[in-house]
Structure formats: structure tokens, C-alpha cells
Structure 1
Amino acid sequence: MQRVFDCRRTEVRRAVVMLFALAGSAHAQEQAAPAGQPVAGQLPEVTVRAAGSETGIGPVGGYVARRSVTATKTDTPLSETPQSISVITREQMEDRGVQTVSEAFAYSAGVVGDNVVESRYDKPVIRGFPARQYLDGLYINYYTSGYLMPRVDAYGLERVELLRGPSSVLYGANAPGGLINLVSKRPTAETLREVNVQYGSHNRKQASFDLSGAVDSNQTVLYRLTGLFRKSDTQTDHAKDDRIFIAPALTFRPSADTTFTLLTHYQRDKQGTAINFLPREGTVIPTVNGRRISSSFFTGEPGFNTFDREEYAIGYAFEHRFNDTFRVRQNVRYMHSDLTYTGVYAVGWNSAAQQQLRRGSLDAGGKLDTIGVDTQLQADFSTGPVRHKMLVGVDYQHGKFDDKQGLGTVGTPPLGLIDPWNPVYGARINPIASYTNVEQTQRQLGVYFQDQMKLTERLTFVAGGRKDWASSDTTSTRIGTANNARAVTTTPIDQDDFTYRLGLLYQAPYGITPYVSYSTSFQPQAGTDLRGSPFKPTTGKQTELGVKFQPPGSNSFITAAVYDLRQQDVLTPDPNRPP
């Protein structure tokens, strides 16, 4: 029933957009006509983009992207990229009614999303490993083990791109499974006027708009303003999904060789927690009494459960072409996020009778400040018959967060019981006895190079390498509120590594492109062993053999791959020395 409703909602949105387009065309025509002269019927103006006009960060006409910057940091056709990559376009997201990033990649191979139904996070897992997320090529989710993780609204995105396999050679510290790159909507020279009004199940009320165009007749200054406002319940009682999102962007093009784009966004989420941690008995299988718990059951306390997150970011993307050979790019972003999170949750059945659930409480929150800078110099030249697209870059990432977590009890023992079939709310939330405060600063400096060599018209060889220096300082403080006891633990990291990749592809006739690649990755590890020696970074390596197929003249793109992916120096608890 929900799927049918989503399809109708999409059609209503399209009808509203078409109505605005018709009204705008008629108004423009009326102004152009002489006074007193009737206006002849005229169809709305339609902008048609040729396939060759697509860029690696811009809009895509349809579902099939042909270019991307994620895998190489250069604007490269997917058919010339010796790595598995998927691009979920804006049009596909709209037609599927995508509301979150997790929903965007729900039909992509090799990736799964955690908490897809729940509104707090997007936590992708690619090829079996938790994946880092990037926004316009810069890292965003610094603290993946806690609750303080930014989440960008999918309506503000032009594309969602999945890069499979180790990618440290261009991005630094990363899991070997791959990464997610979110591409923001950017100003367009074509006038865009879109307004959406939605009403859905669970009392969902949402309005959004997307406005873009040129400020002057020479199209030197372009703007875009994207926004979304939502007030909604969820399938879980007493759990909200309210959001404010607004993203202004401005592009300045003083010449054909220079582009400066300012990218900003603000997002405020006021939500409950739809994750209830319900037991297997009563959900997956019936209880011992043959009963099942309703999906609308809320394990928390309506006056206590809250998830209030605020984030904002400001940055820019700059590019300047010196001549036909050299061009420079720089991407910069500062991002801030803070969170207040309190809740009551279920911790299992109280007895073998499976009639009441035990509950605990949580008080968490914190602040995150990050800055990322990526500067690249690209050179396009030839050495004899070989055409080169060479990239040299340096990037720096700095993140600092303060995180607080405390666990407590509810009501009187045993831990605030609640009947899932006849819930009674209003239990006392007991004071939390102790908190853990974590303060961490992360730094990563990387220098990288890459050469995309066109050996012949059909044969391409890609080689790249990177040297990283990663460091962090983590201070964990255990605070007892009863006697103000404090236990402080400090864990430093100071590690470096060299990663590389090699790739070869052949563009055969009929749109068939077989390829082979080998790539490596690394992840810093905190702490020391029993002898006091720092742990080695966890490294990964992958050999991938694949084929890409894009039939000439068709609007389709197929990729198939097999791979051997391995990790080394993974931290493992010593069974002979329990903690």
C-alpha cells in the first residue's frame, strides 16, 4: 500500500511542477506580446541536453550516468574507469520516491544500508565493510562508532555514487570495501522552478522547493536555492521525523576558464527514535504464547525520548584552467554538527513467560567540527603516442568532536517493565550514575598522484600512489556523578602508510570493456600491544576482474565483476588475556 501511495505522490509532484512551467511560459509570452493583441498558444520551453554535455558532477538526463569524478577525481567516462562504480541519478531518486541516502542505494549490488527504516543515520556497508561517506569529495562521518553522525537530506543531492573496492590512493584512510560520495545540487544556467507539496501516511506533511538560474544575462553569476520542510509521525508511536533543510549555492564564472561555486547547507532534525531493539520472540517468531508485537509499539517514554540534531556547512569548489595542458582545482568545506539524544529502550524479556519487557535509559550527545581541503593540479599532455591525464594533489582533513554517553535505569527494579500489548507510560527516569566523555582530534595529510594513460584508442592504463600521515588524540573520561570519581584514558595514534593502485581496461567493439585492477587501502588503529608498541595500521588489498557493457545507441550500462578482497593486521582480542 505504501509503494502505491509513493507512486501517486510522485505523479502529483510532477503535475505541480508542470503547472508552474505552463504558468511561467504563459506569463512570459503575455509580457512579450503587444498590448491588446491576443497571445497565440505556445508549448512550454523544453531544454534538451546532448549526451556529450554531461559532466562528472552535474545533472544526468535519465537513469544512466556516463561520467563521474569519484573514482579518479577527474571528469572521466565510466567506461574508462577500471573500477566498479554505480551512480544513482536525481531522476531515478525522484521516480522511486527516495527520502534517504540509504533508500537511494537500496537496489545497488554489493551494498547494504543499516537502519534503512529509521531516520537517524545512513550507515552503508560495501562488500562486507562499513563504508565512509563523502560529500563532494570531502569526508563527513568522522565518528562512526557513536551517535554523532551527520546525515544530509537526499533532496539536496544531484547524485549518489558508490565506489567499490579499496580507494585509499585518492582518499586516504578507508575500509577496503569502498566508499559513498554524495554530490550536491549546484547552480544551473537553465532556469529551474520546482515546488512540491506532499501528504502521506503517518500524518506526513512535507513541502520542498528547488530554484535555480542565472542572475545576469551573461550567465556570469548563477544561483540555486533548495529547501525542504517536514513534519511527520512514523510507523512507531510517539516517534517523530521532523526536518528543516535549506541549501543556498552560488556560482561565479568571471571567464570561460574560471569557476567558483559556494556550497552551503543547514539542517535541523527533531525526531524520536523508531529503533526499539525488540527481541526475536514476538517479532521474527511468535512468543511462547503465540503472540507478536505490533510494529507501532513504542518502547520509550513520550516525554523523554528525543533526537535533536543540528548541522551546517559552508565550502567551495574552485577550478581554473591555465591553458590546454594545466588546470587547478580546490575543494574546501567546514562543517559543524551537534546532537542531543535521550531515550528509553527495551533490553529484552523480563522472564521466560515473555509478557513484559525490561527497559534502560540513555543520555548522549556532543559536538563535531570538521574541515577538509583538497587541492589538485591536472595536466593533459602527450608523450609520443601516449595521451596522459596526470593528477597531483594534496589533501588535509581535521576533525574534532566531544561525545558524551551515559546509560541508566527506568523506574523500580527490574528495570522499568512494560507490557508491549498494553503499554503504560510515565515511568520514572532514574539519575544516570556515570558518564563517559570522549574527546578526539583526527588529522590526516595525504600527497597523491595518478596518471590515466591512453596507450591506444582502445587501451587505457591507470596508475596511482599516495603517502598518508594520520594522527589522532583521544581522551576518554569516566565520570561518576555520585562521588565525582574520574578515570582518564588517553590514546594517541601516529601512523603513516603508502597505498597504490593499477588498472588496465580495453574498450572492445560493441560497447564491451573488460578491465582488471589491483588496489590497496589502510586504516589507522589506536592503542598499543602488551609490550607498549603501537598497533600497525589495518591494510587491505583487492584484485578485481570485471567487464562493463554499454550498447551503442542504448540508454543502459551494465557492470559485472569478481574480486578477491583481503585485510591484514586486523585487531583481534587475545583469548588468553581477556580485558
Structure 2
Amino acid sequence: MDHSINNQKLRSSLTCCRVAVLLGSTALAASGVAANAQEQTTSVNGDSAEVTVLEPVTVSLDGYGDSDATSIVAFGNSGGGKLATDFLDTAASVSVITSKEIELRDAQTVEQVLDYTAGVTTDFYGSDDRFDYFKIRGFDAYAYRDGLPLGDPFGGVREEPYAFERVEVLKGADSTIFGVSDPGGTVNYVSKKPRSERFGEAYITGGSFDHAEVGFDFGDNVTADDTLSYRLTGKFQNSDAEYDYSNDDESFIMGGLTWRFDDATEMTLIYDYLDTDATPGGGGHPIGSDFDRSFFLGEPDYNYNDVTRNTVTWMFDHDFGSGLTFSSRARYTSAETGFGYAYVYEPVDNGDTIADRYYYGNATDYDDFVMDAHFQYDTSFANVDSRTLAGLQYETYSGTNDSYYDVAPGIDWTNPVYSGGPTYSGPYASTKSDQKTTSLYAQEEMTFYNKLIASVGLRNDWLDLKSLNQLTDTATSGDFSEFTGRGALTYRVTDEVSTYVSYAQSVAPPTIGVEPERGEQYEIGVKYAPLAFPALFSASIYDLDKNNITVTNPVTNMQETIGEARVRGLDLEAKAELPHNFSLTAAYSYMMSDIVENGTGGNVGNELAFVPNNVASLWVDYKWEGEGNRGDMTFGLGARYQSSYYFGEDNTVSSDPNITFDAAFTYQVAENTSFQVNATNLFNEKYVAYGGYGADWYNQGRAVYATLRQTW
């Protein structure tokens, strides 16, 4: 059965029991949905029987939203805005969290979105709320939006999940696809785009910590012939955090227009505005103490975490015919961010009840422009299908970063008296940075006899870095040329099962005066997508290596070189919509990290910080169908487990193993009206997520939210 989606010929020979929806960001022309049934009379052993024969189904979607808004199972990935690929044909471990799954779990942050994903660890800094904290396969993961780089989430802007149709997690080294990044993997956010239909929802939410929130997401055609469509998405939140003297306010608005000039050409323009007025965290607690999470030892008058960001995204796709297409993405971002707080630093028990503290602040502003353009040529000859892609990416970044630091008055934790904010004499570091990156890449994929798929990717990134120390008026610069490659083989055992082997390289963005961190990974995997019901099952083992690693020593707060680290592991994952109204998301990961070389001479043979050996999660939903005046009820329960992990590469202090539970309940009040209750950390499990050096930081506590939603 052929599937025509975004003018890409998909090779999956699926039966009518399952329609594999492959969603590429090179969306071009839309063809209608056709599903015809014919009744035929056949003779079996002389007896006549009437059967229904289903003809091939042709599926085409304007964007991701049609399926991602209604199912937790996504049969394809966007390839980071490049080669969109079916689940069974992708020679890598890829997880997709759809907007439907985000809604069912009411994921408020990116970390919560990723909580039930194999190979991903989150929340290892506990109540430090400044950034999105997550690792993939033991290493920091870089973030992208619509295939264009956002950068390292550590130090970046916390993203709003309501902006995205789906979140794609590609595990392992992938610089050939995405560009400079760490070897553990990448997270690609796919923005909500206008659809060629009328749709919408509006909701209100209230709950823990005086949380009040309203949101909406709707769109329609502007013209009767579907040539022009719009979409408007917004979220406005007024809330506190779980600790005293906190706030967690947000204003987010996003609008998009899509022009379909003809059957072959489409252009989309999206603008979004994010403004947050929050606090950076609870400030920590003395090591070994056991205070309530709400107990605050920072400074109420110096406790802020603010972001103002404007983003404009442009997407263009054109089909020249005869298998040749062109796709381009561009984004301009202007942002100002800043935080300041007082934090506890009490590394030793000196017998008193006074916690030593420090002030720390940061102010950043930047402008960033990035664009990507590529051609794709699809052709077939003999028994070979070929997809060839070649493209160019360009990025220019300019920004300033000021950091402030000072000693804060100590505070008595038995009777806290707050002393106010700091009077800095000036920043201790002030840097102006300019960076230009030019990248050329090519990918080739060949499918032999609809069974064996060979793929190879090559990329070179040229980086021009300039930095000005504004305190000393000292300028430095660096030029880098980094080459990465990727190769893989996939074999379609049946229409339901495939297996693959791959090798991939990565290179992380370099720092002036320091060699770039490089990585490589070997991976073997098997995938199963049953025809009987919507489900995806995958298993993979990998050997991942990273060189030239530099880390911040939590004791000295100085950069030091580890040298080389290795992570070997196993990922198991399942997403399924099962018979009898059950659905589930299950994941298990085993990771064994090892510091192979260390430039400072210590820690060789130790494990990496924040890398638990075992991580497992399970979320199950059951839908109890309505009867009479009673509407449908959906019950959801989830559990997340992680074994202990070390807080530093010296492996002296570690967390406790822990398990937390989440729950959800949805009642269908009317056909288009639902009432939903979600609870995270249901039993308020408490443990030290990070600590042992200067302070302890607890994990996030229980939060309960209720949502009333109207759709149309």
C-alpha cells in the first residue's frame, strides 16, 4: 500500500489495519483521504461467503497536528526537518512525545514532557528552576526547534511545551543531521502550524501553589479554497512555586499563517512571544538537613528569574516535480534573560545553626539568526529507491553576558532573618560574543528490494568565534572546521519488524582556546510495529564515547578536563494503544558510564555524575466508556524509577534510589467538554536530587492541577 504524504513516496507495505503516518517538515502538496470498501462474494469449500475487501488507503496531512493531537503513537519522525523517516526505517533510537501525550500527562515543563522517555534523565538539580535540565544516554543534550539549533538548555531559555505539536528525541551522536551537539542525543521541538481545517480548544487550570492558568489553541481557513490558514495559540499563567517567596508567572502567545500558493508551494510564518516572571529556586538547604520544601533560605528581595523573548520563524517548501523538492527554514530570535538569588553554601557542619550564603546573578541579551536550505531528490531504478539530500545551514549570533557574585550574610535556619539584596560593585565577568557558523551537509539513503536500507551522511561545520572581555578590553578569536559522518544499515525483516546497525559521530560547539568535544557511537537495534493495533516497540544497545571533556568541579567551581568518558547501555521502549481501551508508555534504560582518561590524573575508572545505572518508567491509561448520562472516564497512572547516581566525578556523594508516582483522571462532561485532574509525585516522595557539596536540593514535590477544557 502506498502512502502519499508531503510528496514523499513511503516504502512501508502496511495493511489497512494500520496507517503509518509519516510526517516530514518538507510538507508540500496535499492529497485527499480515500478509503473505499467493496463487498465481494467468495466461495470457500463450495459455500458462499460475503467478505469486505478494503482498497489501499491514501493519507495526507497538512502538518503534524491531525495525528499528534489524537494519538500517543507516532509512526514517523521529521528527521530534524530533513529526511522524514518511518519508524521501522530509522536506523537510530527515536522517541516521539505527541501533543496528545503531553495533554494526557499535563506536562508543564520540558522535563516533565521527557520524564517517560527511554535513555533520558531529568530533574537532577531538583528545585533549581532556572533551566531545562535533561541528559540523554549520560551526556548533555542539545535542543533544536523545527530542526534549527537552540543550543544547550543549560543556560538557555525554558521552553513552553504548549507551543509544540510534538517533541522528538533522537538518541546518540547525530551531528551529521543536526550540526554541532553533544553525543548523547538531541531534542527537536516541532512547532504548531496552521492546518487547513477549523479546529480549536480553550481551557482553564487551577491547582497547587495558587496556580491559575488559561490557554487557547485554535485556527481555521481564511479563504474558502484552503489557500490561506491561520493558527493562534496562547497561555497565561499566574502562580507561585513550591517554596516561599516565589512566583512562576508566564505570558506566551504564538500566531501563524500558512499560504498554499498552489499544489506544489507552501509558506508558513510563525511569531511567538514568551515572557516569564519567575524565581530561580529555593536556594538550597544545609547538607543533611530535612526541611520542608517550602522553607526558604534565600533572599526575598533578591530572587528573580525573568525572560523576554521574541521569535519569528519562516518555513518554505516547493515541489519541482519528478522527485525534486526544496525546503527552507529560518528563525530570528531576540531575547533578554536575567536571574539573581542567594544560595546556601554550607559544606561542613561547624556546630552552629548559621548557613553561609552567596549572591549570584546573571544578565544576558542576544540576537540570533539561523537558516537552513536543502534540496531533496527521490528516484527509483531497477529495484532500488534512492533519496538524496544536500543542504546549507548558516547561523550568526551576537550577545552579551554579565555575571555577578558576592558573599551574602549568613542566615540562622532556626530563626531566619532576611537581610536584603546585594550591592555589587560590578560584574566579575562581562563578555561580548559573536559567532558565525556555516555548514554543508549531504545525506544518501538507498533501499534495495524494499528490504535493505543503506544510509550515509556527511557534514562539515565552519565556526568563526570572537569574544571580547569587556572588563579588560581583551579580544580573542578562533576558527574551527569540524567534519562528522554517519553510516547505517536497516533490514526490514517483515512488514512489522526491522533491525539496524549504525555508526555516528558528533562534535560539540567549541570554546575559544579549548579543543571541541568529540564523540562517536556504535548502536544495534530492533523495532516492532504490529499491524493489529497502533504500537511501537524498540530495543537497542550502544557504545558511546566522548573525548576532550571539560566539566565544572562543584567544589572549586573551576573548569577541569576529564579527557575521555564512555557510556554503554541498553534502551527498551514501548508506546501502544491496546485493545479494550488501554494505552501505555513504557521505558527502561541501563547505563554504565566510565571515565577512561582524566587530564588532571584523578577519577579514572569512576562513573560520570548524574548518570544512574537504571532508569525505568511506566504510564498506563484506561478509558471506561460512558453509558447513559455518564460520559467517558479515563484513568491514568504512572511510575518513574531511577537508581542512585553520583553528584560529582569524584564519586564520593550520591543520591538515594527513588520511585515517584503520577496520576491523571479525565471525565468527558459533554461531547466537546472535559474535566481533567493531574497529580505529579502523587505520594510526595522526597529525596536529595543534588547535594553533598555546598547544599542539598530536593526533588520536586507533589503538585495537583484541575483543568476544564472545551474543544471544537
State the secondary structure of the residue aligned to 2:101: helix
Q: Secondary structure at 2:345's aligned position in 1?
A: strand
In 1: Cα distance, 2:468 partner to 2:168 partner? 35
| 1:154-173 alignment, distance < 5 Å | 154-173=161-180
Question: Which among 212, 225, 241 is matched to residue 218 of structure 1?
Answer: 225
Opposite residue 138 of structure 2, the aligned amino acid is G
- Say if 2:330 and 2:371, in contact at 8 Å, map to a contact too: yes
CA distance in structure 1 between the partners assigned to 2:126 and 2:287 by the alignment: 19
- Shift in alpha-carbon separation, 1:544–1:56, aligned structure 2, 3 A: farther
Q: CA deviation at 1:423?
A: 2.0
Residues 197 and 84 of structure 1, relative CA distance in 2, 3 Å threshold: same
Q: Deviations over 1:447-487 (max 9, x none)?
A: 11111111111221111111221121122344xxxxxxxx3
Letter in 2 for 1:97: D
Q: RMSD of the alignment, in Å?
A: 2.2
Instruction: For 2:257 and 2:138, locate their aligned partners in 1 and report how far apart those are by CA, in whole Å.
Output: 38
Q: 1:349 to 1:356 in 2, by over 3 A?
A: farther
Judged with a 3 Å threshold, the aligned counterparts in structure 2 of structure 1 residues 119 and 515 are, in CA distance, closer, same or farther, namely same
- Counterpart of 1:362 in structure 2: which amino acid? Y
Cα distance in 2 for partners of 1:401, 1:89 equals 33
Aligned residue pairs: how many?
497
Q: Does 1:493 align with 2:478?
A: yes
Structure 2: gaps of 5 or more residues: 1-56, 551-560, 563-598, 602-712
Q: CA deviation at 1:95?
A: 0.4
Match of 1:262 in 2: 269
Map Cα deviations across residues 282-335 of structure 1 (whole Å, 9 max, x no partner). Answer: 0xxxxxxxxx21110112221221111100100211100010311100000001
Cα distance change, pair 368–51 in 1 and its aligned pair in 2 (3 A): farther
Between 493-502 and 343-352, report the one with greater CA deviation.
Answer: 343-352
What are the within-5 Å matches in structure 2 for residues 508-527 of structure 1? 508-509=493-494, 511-527=496-512
**Aligned 8 A contact 2:79 2:85 in 1:** no
User: Which deviations, in whole Å up to 9, do the C-alpha atoms of 1:218-244 show, x marking residues without a partner?
Assistant: 111111000000000111001100000
2:95 counterpart of 1:96: no
Deviates more, 1:342-351 or 1:326-335: 342-351
SS of the residue aligned with 1:348?
A: coil
Of 413, 417, 420, the match for 2:410? 417
Q: Does 1:544 align with 2:544?
A: no
In 2, Cα distance between equivalents of 1:140 and 1:385: 40
Distance 1:489 1:278 in 2: 39
Structure number with the higher strand fraction is 2
User: 1-side partners of 2:432 and 2:424: how far apart?
Assistant: 23
Match of 2:131 in 1: 121
Hey, what does 1:46 align to over in structure 2? none
Task: Name the amino acid aligned to 2:319.
Answer: R
Aligned to 1:190: 197
Question: What is the CA deviation profile of residues 106-154 of structure 1, one whole-angstrom value per residue up to 9, with x for unaligned ones?
Answer: 1111111245655432132111111110011111136x66x4x222211
Pairing partner for 1:463 from 453, 456, 464: 456
Q: Secondary structure at the match of 1:417?
A: strand
Q: Distance in 1 between matches of 2:303 and 2:509?
A: 35
Q: Does the Cα contact within 8 Å between 1:547 and 1:559 map onto a contact in 2?
A: yes
Change (3 A) 1:431 1:469: closer
Aligned to 2:432: 439
Amino acid at match of 2:134: P
The answer (yes or no) to whether the contact 2:302–2:420 under 8 Å persists in 1 is: no
Q: Partner of 1:70 in structure 2?
A: 79
Q: Does 1:373 align with 2:382?
A: no
> Contact 2:183 / 2:505 at 8 angstroms: preserved in 1?
yes
Give the counterpart letter for 1:476 in structure 2.
N
Spell out the pairing of 1:65-464 with structure 2 (5 A cutoff): 65-70=74-79, 73-114=82-123, 115=125, 118-141=128-151, 147=155, 149-282=156-289, 292-348=290-346, 351-353=349-351, 355-410=353-408, 416-427=409-420, 429-432=422-425, 434-464=427-457
Distance 1:451 1:550, change over 3 A: same
Q: When you count helix as a share of all residues, which structure comes out higher?
A: 1
1-side partners of 2:265 and 2:274: how far apart?
A: 30
For residues 168 and 512 of structure 1, what CA distance do their matches in structure 2 show?
27
Matched-pair contact (CA < 8 Å) for 2:491–2:498 = yes
Task: Name 2:679's counterpart in structure 1.
Answer: none
List per-residue Cα deviations over 1:482-503 (Å, max 9, x = no partner).
xxxxx34443221112211111
Higher relative contact order (CA 8 A, sep 6+): 2
C-alpha distance in 2 between matches for 1:168 and 1:226 = 32
Counterpart-to-counterpart distance in 1, 2:93 and 2:339: 38
Q: Partner letter of residue 138 of structure 1? A: L
Once residues 212 and 510 of structure 2 are traced to their aligned partners in structure 1, the CA distance between those partners, rounded to angstroms, is 45
Distance 1:182 1:78 in 2: 18
The residue type paired with residue 224 of structure 1 is R
Q: Distance in 1 between matches of 2:163 and 2:511?
A: 35
Displacement after TM superposition at 1:180 (Å): 0.5
Amino acid corresponding to residue 539 of structure 2 in structure 1: A
Task: Give the Cα separation in 2 of the matches to 1:358 and 1:569.
Answer: 35
Deviates more, 1:302-311 or 1:50-59: 50-59
Corresponding residue SS for 1:98: coil
